[in-house]
Structure 1
């Protein structure tokens, strides 16, 4: 293994609104250096390179390589156009501009999926009654990772004979499958508004607004012009019945989608819920219809009842996952010994 692979690695978690930076030391048991973490607004900079230069100048840190987890599809491992973000990134050009040995581009949910290997018990809240699985407890395990934030991300973590790999998907754009009479009414309303209705139309920040509009329409009430944070705040306060119904419906539909992912990926090892909305909506996920609809898979109910669901509460899962990738690229092990 080259000295470069053992050197500190700059980590970048790049979304539509914010970009987070950190540094990993792959030789440490907890490789993400918490004191290195910084967050910047994308709108305040003209490129990833200019933001990275500011970060390195501000912190005084020295790195030899970088792992960039970006919310977008990675083309040939070399370029990415970030969803909901004006930046287009080339791995080679970024490495040259920052004088790095190399830059590794990955999808943001590849990083989110790898984060599972470094999570501690305090990073997780159980949704349901099943305890969190032990990663690496069996020779073959498959996990699903799904997360609502600005959009809906979907990934998979595969454990095979002591090695980890990830599935990079665009599963959030799969078509929404209605499972109840109310679901059908919601689907019909959004279909008239958007045409094709994907899961992301409902399960993300803007999805809360879409659900609120649909639920008001079904109830024969006029929907207000409202933000996602208004809906969750009103629901928490119990001050608006339509907002309460919206977050309850969100939790149920999210449960159906998460359960469908288990069937699609064979993710019998468990499902990890991540994304910016999870801490906010956790009360409705743990006490609402999430698990009931997660398990309601007909002939597969018995096995679905045995699949654990965990909410990730770590505030930096993207950087944590990039740190896990840095460990893996350095030749280190991510799995706990059995």
Structure 2
């Protein structure tokens, strides 16, 4: 295949920049083309993309970039990184015919029909829905990482329609006295408290710090990695509670997304924190809070919750979006 038929793909977060090349529907991610770079090592997305193209020796004509931020026309201000990305500027700098910018969780959502059974782990009893396009579906996607991403996927008449959202910035709604106290503590620091203030890497630190204050216990960890490790090895009881509560709140928010989107066919979990969280999510707290939706509890008990364990769902979804556009031309 000539370079003219290749599509440059990117999955851009606040910490990691992932690139790949798309060949065709049969080969959405070219073997050996995936590279990861640190955002902190680059001054702009254009610089990082140019480095990638030089590293792999490719000259594609088109690009689809999945970016953690709200897409405003052809521009994105990355939520947790001091970059503003312009599609026109990137296209000019890299010599591309077109650059399309999409929200990162739009790409996560579009990846779902491309995933295999081995890429999924069901959390709870209801099985993962089939997303082969033969049945109309509506599913939600949520994932904690550097931030909290959210999106949704509609399958209608065999077509995949992604919904780009900033659902991670919905307001935090406490459900217990303990969570009321956490909200009170965090409101003093941040003013408005969104779900992302608790359900992301820095959010885990916020949650742990609030619990330390409430419990008057020593604050022994200052990074999400330390909080997680202290919880997993049991060396800090407050860290254990912070991680357990993180999983419970993620279940609550995932359930709210199902209600908001009408995603009765299920919610899929992704994000950079998913893998270390899985041992906690497999326990009862996550699923119990997901189902605890009052008069709709019976419906939620039938709604699947599924972890996406493919390592590059953002790139895979960007490939799906690129191939959809190619087919429509």
TM-score higher than 0.5: yes
Unaligned runs of 5+ in 2: none
CA-CA distance at 1:140 after TM superposition: 2.7
| Equivalent residues of 2:3, 2:60 under 8 A apart | no
The one of 65, 71, 76 aligned to 1:74 = 71
The one of 180, 191, 194 aligned to 2:176 = 180
Question: Which string of whole-angstrom CA distances, capped at 9 and with x for unpartnered residues, describes residues 67-104 of structure 1?
Answer: 0111111111x111212223222112211221211011
Question: Which string of whole-angstrom CA distances, capped at 9 and with x for unpartnered residues, describes residues 24-77 of structure 1?
Answer: 11231x41124100111222222222222221111112311000111111111x
| Equivalent residues of 1:124, 1:311 under 8 A apart | yes
State the alpha-carbon separation in 2 of the partners of residues 300 and 6 from structure 1.
Answer: 51
The one of 272, 281, 285 aligned to 1:285 = 281
State the alpha-carbon separation in 1 of the partners of residues 217 and 51 from structure 2.
Answer: 49
Call closer, same or farther: CA 1:137–1:18 in 2, change over 3 Å.
Answer: closer
CA-CA distance at 1:136 after TM superposition: 4.0
State the alpha-carbon separation in 1 of the partners of residues 254 and 20 from structure 2.
Answer: 30
CA-CA distance at 1:4 after TM superposition: 10
Within the alignment, does 1:58 sit opposite 2:55 as a pair?
yes
Partner of 2:102: 106
Within the alignment, does 1:16 sit opposite 2:6 as a pair?
no
CA-CA distance at 1:330 after TM superposition: 2.1
State the alpha-carbon separation in 1 of the partners of residues 21 and 130 from structure 2.
Answer: 26
Call closer, same or farther: CA 1:137–1:163 in 2, change over 3 Å.
Answer: closer
CA-CA distance at 1:288 after TM superposition: 3.3
Partner of 1:31: 28
Partner of 1:261: 257
| Equivalent residues of 1:4, 1:64 under 8 A apart | no
- Tell me the SS of whatever aligns to 2:327: coil
RMSD across aligned positions (CA): 1.8
1:314-329 counterparts in 2 under 5 A?
314-329=310-325
- Tell me the SS of whatever aligns to 1:35: coil
TM-score, L = length of structure 1: 0.93
| Equivalent residues of 2:106, 2:164 under 8 A apart | yes
| Equivalent residues of 1:5, 1:330 under 8 A apart | no
Question: Which string of whole-angstrom CA distances, capped at 9 and with x for unpartnered residues, describes residues 251-283 of structure 1?
Answer: 111111110111111000100000000100101
CA-CA distance at 1:5 after TM superposition: 12
Provide the aligned length of Structure 1 versus Structure 2.
328
Please identify, of 52-61 and 168-177, the stretch whose mean Cα deviation from structure 2 is larger: 52-61
| Equivalent residues of 2:198, 2:207 under 8 A apart | yes
State the alpha-carbon separation in 2 of the partners of residues 115 and 225 from structure 1.
Answer: 35
